């Protein structure tokens, strides 16, 4: 039996991934600050603590933990929390793996398309592009650098740069389904997205096919804020208002964090497709038919 430990396993992606792995016969363990179930194990990043029982006979770790980018305004304190929640948690797991000499078969981590920066451009970003010199780019670069340490101790390492995850309950899609749906700002910025079913399948695919390296976890189809909003309004039978929410208003409400709403570029999914992974939801219409 293959045993998988998931950090951030109580979150949106982690819960679905845990259920899918269990259904396929995997033994699933969850690292959480508040263990409640038999397969929950305690950890405390601030105090450098992990229950060592979580690592017994362990095969894979899927690392999803990290403070939400869009949950709070980007104060200096929140920015620091966003960075340390990713880097310190990775380093804690890394150090424990070394200390216990755990013969991991693979370490799989989330990252984000924020690696390419908060910009709107016609360029299609691929995994070989350099990180942006802005807050999001720096967060992802530090996050990935801490993850790639596993390669240095001969543990196969995989990184998925996640786009906006669409799910039936919770997450970005639920927040978009207002009484009246409208694009954000001028609506020209791209929204690299992925259906949660494809994303969780991607993690499992990487285990079952020994896929390693860095991959963009985004759907093949490109959508702008305008086209995304228009299709969402149609599928949810809500009015569509074609004039976007003004940028200055978003800045007043969200501060500097508004940049993640008002900017966005195209991101390629060719590399993961070239491994043989097949998307169930190649286009937004099929995903929304399933999720709305």
- Reported as a single tens digit per residue, the pLDDT across 228-261 is 999 999 999 999 888 877 776 766 666 666 676 7
Query: Three-state DSSP class for 184?
Result: strand
- Of 30, 47, 150, the C-alpha closest to 90 is 150
Sheet holding 40-44, edge to edge: 49-50, 40-44, 27-32, 3-7, 60-63, 106-112, 157-162, 213-217
- In CATH, what number does 3-166+194-218+267-280 get? 3.40.50.720
pLDDT tens per residue across span 98-139: 999 999 999 999 999 999 988 888 899 999 999 989 999 999
Q: Is the pLDDT of residue 196 over 90?
A: yes
Written as one string, the DSSP assignment of 223-243 is -BHHHHHHHHHHHHT--B--S
pLDDT the model gives residue 254: 65
Q: Which of 119, 115, 152 is nearest to 136 (CA)?
A: 115
Q: Phi/psi of residue 88, each to 5°?
A: -70, -35
Go through the chain and tell me how many residues it has. 292
Mean pLDDT for the chain overall: 91
């Amino acid at each position: 039996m293959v045993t998988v430990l998931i950090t951030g396993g109580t979150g949106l992606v982690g819960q679905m991934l845990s259920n899918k792995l269990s259904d396929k016969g995997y033994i699933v363990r969850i690292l959480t600050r508040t263990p409640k179930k038999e397969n929950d194990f305690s950890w405390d990043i601030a105090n450098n603590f992990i229950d060592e029982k979580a690592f017994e006979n362990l095969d894979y770790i899927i690392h999803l933990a990290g403070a939400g980018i869009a949950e709070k305004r980007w104060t200096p304190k929140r920015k620091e929390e966003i960075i340390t929640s990713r880097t310190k948690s990775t380093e804690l797991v890394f150090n424990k793996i070394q200390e216990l000499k755990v013969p991991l078969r693979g370490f799989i981590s989330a990252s984000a398309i924020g690696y390419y920066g908060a910009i709107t451009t016609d360029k299609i970003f691929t995994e070989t592009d350099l990180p942006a010199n802005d807050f999001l780019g720096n967060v992802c670069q530090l996050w990935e650098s801490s993850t790639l340490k596993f390669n240095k101790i001969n543990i196969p390492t995989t990184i998925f740069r996640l786009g906006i995850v669409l799910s039936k309950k919770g997450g970005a899609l639920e927040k978009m389904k207002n009484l009246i749906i409208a694009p954000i700002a001028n609506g020209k910025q791209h929204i690299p997205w992925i259906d949660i079913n494809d994303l969780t399948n991607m993690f499992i695919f990487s285990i079952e096919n020994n896929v390693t390296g860095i991959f963009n976890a985004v759907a093949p189809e490109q959508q702008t804020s305008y086209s995304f909003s228009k299709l969402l309004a149609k599928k949810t039978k809500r009015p569509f208002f074609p004039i976007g929410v003004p940028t200055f208003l978003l800045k007043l409400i969200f501060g500097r964090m508004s940049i993640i709403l008002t900017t966005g570029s195209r991101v390629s999914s060719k590399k993961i497709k070239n491994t043989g992974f097949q998307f169930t939801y190649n286009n937004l219409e099929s995903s929304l038919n399933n999720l709305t």
